Amino acid sequence: MAKYKKSNLSAGKSQRTGKPATSTSFQSNSLLKFINTLNQQNLLVKLLPILLFCLAVLVIWLKPKIESDLYMTLAGGRDAFNGMLGKPDDWSFTTQGRTWINQNWGTGVLFFLAHRLFGFEIFTVIKALLVGLTAVLMIGASRKRGAATGIAMIVMAAALIFSGFFYSIRGSLFTFCFIPLVLWILYSSRRNPKLIYITAVITGIWANMHGGYIFGLLMMALWAGVMILQRLLSGGWKSVGEYWHFAVGGLAALLLTVFCNPFGIENLKMSLIMAGNTQFQNITEWQPVWRYRLILNIYTFFITLAIPFGLLLLRLIYAHKAAKTNKMNRTKKESLVAAIVKNHPNIGVVVFEILFVTISTILAVKSQRVYPIALLAAVPLVSLLVSWFIRNFRIYWLQVILCIVIFGFAGAEIVGFYDAYRANHPLWENGSLYKKMSMVYENNYPVAMAEFINDNQIGGNAFSCWTWDGYLRWYSPQIKVFIGGRAQQIHDEETLQKSLDFESGRLPISDLSKENVQIVLGTVINNNYQRIFGEFIQTANWVVVYFDGANYLAVDSNWLPARDIVERAMNNRLVFRDKATENISLVCASISLTKGINPAVLFDRMTAAVKYRYESWCYEMLGKLMNNGPNDIKVVNFLESELNRMKGIDAYHTSRGVNILTCQGTIAAILSNYYLRQGNSERSQLLADLRDNSLKIIEAFYRKDRKTVLK
């Protein structure tokens, strides 16, 4: 890499006046001189990209992500390991014996074996290895393309950071690895076309790991078409030479993907269906970025996708100006296209890259799930163009500037990791590295509820949250779900529409029994399932037998096995892991079964529950006892004592401290209304301020605004 020119800055004199430098200017000039020395020795140019590259891999590895698909992959791998691959589906009771086209079965088997040997913590290692391997392979592909190593590191670091949300512990990690590997081999195959057969074998393996193998077929088809066409235009059929291997290799890859997997042609058809299916676009990751903006920033999305096209445009403008002074070497008999091909031997590779990047970008605009693939596709081309601009215009400082800018984005991500991985997080329970990385918390998974299901041997047809099917299959396979995250790989559009209608309220919950639903598993954190929970409390046909403050389980009282479950619930014979959940569940069962409960029993149960765990729902139920009757003073005194008990707790440094603040706000709201009715406006306003402050801090927790929280 070319060295930077020497700076004319002097360490001892001011550059403008030539007078002896002051202390401040001396320090400034010393710093510039030090940077200039590093530049001259290439230390800064070499060191910064390496540090940025390592930091980007670290950021993606540590980025917390709800890994609901991991449990689906694990359960699918266990099924395959046990010989159930390709057999009639028994995860769901609505699939009518169809076969699950599990395109990730190979990943599932590998993950299942890894878990069996090392437990869940091994997935933190697997994620680090696959993310790191993806980055290293892309650097190799970019170098093979002719890009400078440092620039390739910077561009790859940016691609990782901007698409970090999508690097989950699932089969897509293998797609991210295979894309740069195939690109590297394709670039190398220009000198040795027989290498294309290695790519064909890789694509065949890829087809058993993840549905993203379709991009492998796309790359091979584009490569064969463009490279053979380039030879034809430059010299006719005779000039094709060994490039015919590209066409044969592409065909071999297609045959391997079709016949070397358990599902045959259905595997390929599924990939095409998933690309064109519109009904299942309701899945958030499949939606366009302007329809669902919680994953990606819309401005960052379009700017990053536009970068390769902007650089190409600048390069073409420069090439057009250069062409005016340098005439093309062209004979009279040659066509313009043939002359261009002859004078630009690498044009086939450029056209391949433009086509691959363009197609990937179009797919990413249609579905943001393809966004990381579009960025990966652009890395070699962008690295090459940036390297060319820096070398051609001798703007070597641009590499340092790019590093600093990307360091800023990486640093913004790193800052949030302090809260995500520290002990006693205010939003989550304490746990291992894997649990924090995969966010295995009660608010995201039915952790305690799955234990309750197994402890009480409950099984049946369940309507549950979309993302829970993998977790339930892994821990409680006796539960058969209505629909789940396997989506169009097994479910039909009619079932999906019914699920959406039940969740939104377009179909009444009384119709659940018509669909043979016997159990409902939901969470009040989700607005739709919170509404359903409220209806269960008031509906005679459904009884809530489990509620832990977040997740609930209700059974259809007309279902024969439910009678035993309800009887055990009313006689306190169900097994619970903690007393708080036991007391809350008993109250829910009593209310939903009899549509009422003795106020004294409700008071005793709720006060007993909050001694073990703060739960806002308990305080809400206590507040309903206050109706200007004899219970008011008793409830008020208890709620006041609870407020005093919470005052000494540092919510910011307490596990699930936000739950305490929520309870504090709930109590403050109840007491504020009570004192307002009693005419004590001063006390009422004080409690109203406490309620508002609690809500403000809770919002700050979720915004990760530490300054507001710590005030």
Beta bridge partners of 13: 20
For position 293, what pLDDT does the model report?
A: 63
439-453 pLDDT tens trace: 888 888 999 999 999
The CA-based angle 72-74-77, given to 5 degrees, is 110
For position 11, what pLDDT does the model report?
A: 35
- Kind and range of the H or E run holding 522: strand 519-523
- Kind and range of the H or E run holding 708: helix 706-710
Given a cut of 70, is residue 699 above it in pLDDT? yes
Mean pLDDT value across residues 193-214: 96
Q: pLDDT grade, residue 406 (50/70/90)?
A: very high
Of 38-42, 287-291, 679-683, the range with the highest mean pLDDT is 679-683
113-147 pLDDT tens trace: 999 999 999 999 999 999 999 999 999 999 999 99
Interatomic CA distance for residues 352 and 360, integer angstroms: 12
Q: Which amino acid is located at 602 in the chain?
A: L
| 30 or 202, which is more confident | 202
Angstrom CA distances, 332 to 79, 132, 324, stand at 67, 52, 19
Nearest in space to 357 (alpha carbons), one of 388, 379, 383 = 379
Percent of the chain topping pLDDT 90: 61
Mean pLDDT value across residues 157-174: 94
Q: pLDDT grade, residue 345 (50/70/90)?
A: low
Least confident among 171-180, 251-260, 508-517, 584-593: 584-593
Given a cut of 90, is residue 425 above it in pLDDT? no
Of 31-45, 460-474, 479-493, the range with the highest mean pLDDT is 460-474
Mean pLDDT value across residues 225-247: 83
For position 16, what pLDDT does the model report?
A: 38
For position 12, what pLDDT does the model report?
A: 36
Residue positions counted in the chain: 711
Given a cut of 50, is residue 19 above it in pLDDT? no
Beta bridge partners of 464: 521
Distance of CA 262 to the CA centre of its chain: 28
Per-residue H/E/C for 524-577? CCCHHHHHHHHHHHHCCCEEEEEECCCEEEEEECCCHHHHHHHHHHHCCCCCCC
Nearest in space to 309 (alpha carbons), one of 368, 356, 346, 348 = 356
Mean pLDDT value across residues 197-207: 97
142-163 pLDDT tens trace: 999 999 999 999 999 999 999 9
Beta bridge partners of 555: 519, 543
For position 13, what pLDDT does the model report?
A: 39
259-283 pLDDT tens trace: 999 999 998 888 877 655 555 666 6
Mean pLDDT value across residues 469-492: 92
For position 626, what pLDDT does the model report?
A: 81
The CA-based angle 601-606-607, given to 5 degrees, is 100
Least confident among 53-67, 75-89, 587-601, 681-695: 587-601
For position 606, what pLDDT does the model report?
A: 93
Least confident among 56-70, 296-310, 391-405, 615-629: 615-629
45-89 pLDDT tens trace: 778 899 999 999 999 999 998 888 999 999 999 999 999 998 999
Given a cut of 50, is residue 5 above it in pLDDT? no
Q: pLDDT grade, residue 177 (50/70/90)?
A: very high
Q: pLDDT grade, residue 675 (50/70/90)?
A: very high
For position 531, what pLDDT does the model report?
A: 93
Mean pLDDT value across residues 168-188: 97
Given a cut of 60, is residue 109 above it in pLDDT? yes
Nearest in space to 489 (alpha carbons), one of 170, 235, 267 = 267
Asked whether 523 and 569 are in contact (CB, 8 A), the reply is no
Q: pLDDT grade, residue 336 (50/70/90)?
A: very low
For position 704, what pLDDT does the model report?
A: 65
Contact partners, residue 336, CB within 8 Å, separation at least 6: 330
Strands, E, within 394-529: which ranges?
460-464, 479-481, 519-523
Query: In sequence order, what DSSP letters do the residues of 266-281 get, joined into one string?
Result: HHHHHHHHHHH-SGGG
Mean pLDDT value across residues 28-49: 63
| 551 or 272, which is more confident | 551
Interatomic CA distance for residues 353 and 187, integer angstroms: 11
